[in-house]
């Protein structure tokens, strides 16, 4: 089990550089971030989840990259200036929202609101009390994937979007 709770251990993906900067705060200027309230008790997430977004694009396709982040508070003993650690992710090419077969691929209609479901890969992670769970939404996941060939604008209606994460309860 990974996590910010004492007794768990961090993964070593950051050593390989596949998760971008170890501290995800460097990415905050380029993403939409939504954070939970401060956690009052340790919270364990085990399994995958779903991010359901209502989006509008100015082009007929868009990449959606999602990160699940453990946000350390400022003043914590291990990270006195705060820290944001990537613990999970998911991706979706919006034209593949109905599946990946040739029949299922459907371009977006530019300017039209469309519901997309981004599957979040399974994780096993314990968030410590005092931390926050943050969801970051971006139009690319560099360096994992090449950035889109053409720039696009993606608008997300957060008031009509939801995230589901499987919390492990005693």
Percent of the chain with pLDDT over 90: 65
Which pLDDT band, with edges at 50, 70 and 90, does 77 fall under? confident
* Closest to 120 in 3D by CA, of 68, 62, 85: 68
Question: Is residue 161 a part of any domain in this protein?
Answer: no
Question: Is residue 7 a part of any domain in this protein?
Answer: yes
* Closest to 118 in 3D by CA, of 43, 70, 166, 65: 65
Question: Is residue 137 a part of any domain in this protein?
Answer: yes
Q: Which of 7-16, 100-109, 132-141 has the highest mean pLDDT?
A: 100-109
Look at residue 11 in the predicted model and tell me its pLDDT: 47
**pLDDT tens string 145-160:** 778 888 899 999 999 9
* Closest to 35 in 3D by CA, of 77, 69, 83: 69
Q: Are 143 and 13 in contact (CB under 8 A)?
A: no
CA dist., res. 122 & res. 30, Å (int): 24
Question: Is residue 91 a part of any domain in this protein?
Answer: yes
- 99 alpha carbon, distance to own chain's centre: 20
Q: DSSP letters along 14-81, please?
A: HHHTTTSSSSGGGGGGGSEEEEPPPPSS-EEEEEEEEEEEEEEESSS--EEEEEEEEEEPTT-SS-TT
Question: Is residue 12 a part of any domain in this protein?
Answer: yes
**Of residues 164 and 24, which shows the higher confidence score?**
164
Range 122-133 burial, b when 16+ CB lie within 10 A, else e: ebebbbbeebbb
Strand, helix or coil for residue 129: coil
pTM assigned to the model: 0.83
What is the tally of structural domains in the chain? 1
Domain coverage including residue 9? 2-47+62-105+118-151
Question: Is residue 140 a part of any domain in this protein?
Answer: yes
Question: Is residue 100 a part of any domain in this protein?
Answer: yes
Question: Residue 41 maps to which CATH number?
Answer: 2.60.120.260
Question: Is residue 81 a part of any domain in this protein?
Answer: yes
Strand, helix or coil for residue 93: strand
């Amino acid at each position: 089990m990974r996590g910010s709770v004492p007794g768990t251990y961090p993964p070593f993906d950051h050593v390989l550089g596949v998760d971008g900067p170890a501290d995800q705060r460097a990415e905050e200027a380029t993403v939409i971030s939504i954070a939970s309230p401060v956690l009052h008790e340790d919270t364990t997430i085990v399994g995958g989840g779903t991010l359901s977004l209502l989006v509008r694009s100015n082009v007929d396709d868009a990449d959606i990259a999602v990160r699940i982040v453990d946000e350390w508070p400022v003043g914590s003993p291990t990270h006195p200036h705060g820290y944001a650690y990537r613990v999970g992710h998911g991706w979706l090419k919006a034209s593949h929202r109905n599946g990946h077969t040739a029949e299922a691929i459907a371009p977006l209609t530019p300017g039209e609101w469309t519901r997309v479901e981004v599957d979040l890969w399974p994780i096993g992670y314990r968030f410590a009390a005092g931390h926050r769970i943050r969801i970051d939404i971006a139009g690319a996941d560099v360096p994992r994937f090449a950035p889109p060939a053409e720039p696009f604008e993606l608008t997300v209606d957060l008031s009509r979007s939801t995230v589901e994460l499987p919390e492990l309860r005693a």
